[in-house]
Structure formats: C-alpha cells, structure tokens
Amino acid sequence: MTGPDLVAVLAARGRIAPYIHRTPVMTCRSLDEMAGARIFFKCENLQRTGSFKMRGASNAIFSLSDADAAFGVVTHSSGNHAAAVACAARQRGIPAWVVMPENSSRAKLAAVEGYGGYVTLCVPTLEARESTANKLVAGSGATLIHPYNDDRIVAGQGTAAVELLEEVPDLDVIIAPVSGGGLLSGTAIAAKSMRPKIRVMGAEPKNADDALRSLASGKIEPAAEGKTIADGLRATLCERTFEIIRERVDEIAPVTEEEILQAMRAVWERMKIIIEPSSAVAVAPLLTRRAQAEGLRVGVILSGGNLDLDHLPFGVATL
C-alpha cells in the first residue's frame, strides 16, 4: 500500500491555508531544564477547533469535487475529529453528519453542534459507530471522512510538521502522540522527507499501547483493555497508518497515567497554556528522560487543548 508523500503534504498545506491557523512554535526554558533538551512546541492546541484534526478534515473536505461535496460528509468520532469535520464542512457550506457514542461528553457534543454538525448517537463501540456512519452514507450519498484511514487526512495532519521544520529546520528529534496513526504518519512523512536523519518518535499511554505492540509483532494488534486519561488515543492503527509508521517511525515511547498528568500539569504551570492529556503524552517521554534526547533539539506536536474544564484531572479548589 503506497500512502501520501511530501508532495501530497505540501499540496495539502496550500489547500488548507485559508481555513486553518498557522499555529505558533513556543519554547520554555524551565521545561528545557527538566528534559535536558531544547524543546520546540508546535502548538496545535491553539488551532481552530482546538486540535490538529482541523488540518486533515479541511484537506479531505476541500479535496472533494463540487459534485461530491454537494451531498455533504459523514464521519464518526467521539471528539476532536468530529468538531473538525463539522467546522470544515460549515466553511465549505455543506452538511456534516457526525456519529458519536452516547457516552460522549456534553462539552464535545455541544462543540460539534455549535459548528453546525448533525449528531447521531450510537452505543459506544467501534462497530456501532462504523455501521451507523455507513447507513448515513448509504441514505444520503454523502462522503465518509474517516478519522485516520484516509490519505487526505494523513497528508493534512503532516502539514503541522512541515510548518515546524520550516521554522526550526535543525531538529534532531520530533515527537507526536499516536492513536489511529494519522498524525504520527503525516508527521513521519514530512519529517523524514525534509530531514532524513531526524529521529521520529511516537508516544502513547501504556494503557493503550497497541502501536508499540504492533511494531514489535509486525502486525496490527488490538486495542488494550486498560483505561487511559488520554481519551483521544484509544483508537487502533489501520493498515494504511501501520505501514507508514513501520517504515518511517524509529520508536514508540509508552508513558504511564501519572507521567501523563505530571507532563500536562508542567505545561499548564510553566507555559501558561492549556493542553489536553493526549498532548501531554508527547511531552512525558522528555520530562521522564525516557526519550534519550539530552542535549538535542526536539520538536513536539502539542496535538490539542480540548477537555472538560468542569472535570479537570487534578485538584481545583472550590470557592
């Protein structure tokens, strides 16, 4: 299976430029000291809809012909991809039907509806999400926009790494979280094409370590049964993303739930920006020094900043 290349990623960058933010690259001296490395944070938590997902969704939706777009789009997602598809569809002026599990947070449901998406709830299983989405596609003629099993999505996600490397071209390492693999695949394509000797690292919770196990076994492993606070990283790889990651990613770093929380809190406290637990997963290997990046220049994709502020994972005093 041949996936997208740098040409596709650069085409995506031009296509989506009017519809997304070119997010800032930020640094933090105190986090550098904790990691023993020079860290450059690509702040996709400040992206439209609050995550990198806006890149892939915009590329997929604005790649559609006018004839196909007229029927709208369908997707299934419990969070950031759902909001991104709804937002990008609204920008294109087409309808978006979004299948979400019935246990999705009220904040996420409200976000999708706020962007104009038509929400259909289903039982919280991947099978139910996919079957419900397929029924909507069959009944409407709309185009399915899969969260990660789509070359247009992968190419769009890779544009974050392109921007980072344009701004900081001499990175030694780049780290992104991995779930279904769209972001890590796109990051690896862009990074290895622009800087062939760069080390590309994925990060994932130990409680959802299917990517680590898949690379070790040479085949796609099922999702782990453990629970993780990084709720955006619960999907499993697909054949498309697995092949790209196996070819271009150097290693996967697993992190514990406590390490995720510590990294998240450190970014909040030291950088004064909000990131979600899934973003913190990519920071944790540096702060624990498990990334073995001491003395190096490291890029980190902060994937998003969406979380329910009424249910923060660390203590908040009640006034």
Catalytically annotated residues: 53, 78
Q: Which of 108, 140, 144 is nearest to 124 (CA)?
A: 108
CB 167 within 8 A of CB 25: yes
Residue carrying structure tokens 């702060």 = 287
Q: What tokens appear for 232 in the block?
A: 């955006």
Distance CA 273, CA 171 (A): 23
Give the H or E element holding residue 240: helix 239-248
- For 22, residues 6+ apart whose C-beta sits below 8 A from its C-beta are 163
Q: What is the 3-state secondary structure (H, E, C) of 246-277?
A: HHHCCEEEEECHHHHHHHHHHHHHHHCCCCCH
27: tokens are 């640094």
Q: How far apart are CA 231 and CA 29, in angstroms?
A: 29
